[in-house]
């Protein structure tokens, strides 16, 4: 069953998406459908799957210490201005 969907998207994003779709010989509707399908896809464990590029990059960097955003920002500002 096909259902019509209305979206509000920035004009520049739509223009870039249309060029992307045209280069790949796809409709914008099909691209949105593929995107929603990939977002909602589940693997055998019932967990949502990551997009392929994210899955490849996941786990590449090991962080020994968890940083708070505020602390990182404060350190960067101190380093820059002092």
Q: Closest Cα partner for 37 from 29, 56, 45?
A: 29
As a whole number of angstroms, the distance between CA 16 and CA 10 comes to 10
pTM for this predicted structure: 0.50
Which residue ranges make up each domain of the chain? Answer: 11-81
List the structure tokens of 2.
Answer: 């096909």
Residue 49 clears pLDDT 70, i.e. is over it: no
pLDDT at 15: 93
pLDDT at 6: 93
Share of the chain above pLDDT 70, in %: 88
List the structure tokens of 16.
Answer: 């870039």
Residue 55 clears pLDDT 70, i.e. is over it: yes
pLDDT at 43: 59
Q: What is the pLDDT of residues 3-31, one digit of tens each?
A: 999 999 999 999 999 999 999 899 999 98
41 Cβ neighbours under 8 A, 6+ residues apart? 48, 49
């Amino acid at each position: 069953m096909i259902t019509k969907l209305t979206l509000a998207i920035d004009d520049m994003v739509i223009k870039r998406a249309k060029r992307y779709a045209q280069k790949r010989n796809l409709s914008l509707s099909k691209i949105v459908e593929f995107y929603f399908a990939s977002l909602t896809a589940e693997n055998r464990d019932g967990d949502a799957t990551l997009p392929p590029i994210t899955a490849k990059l996941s786990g590449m960097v090991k962080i020994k210490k968890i940083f708070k955003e505020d602390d990182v920002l404060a350190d960067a500002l101190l380093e820059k201005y002092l």
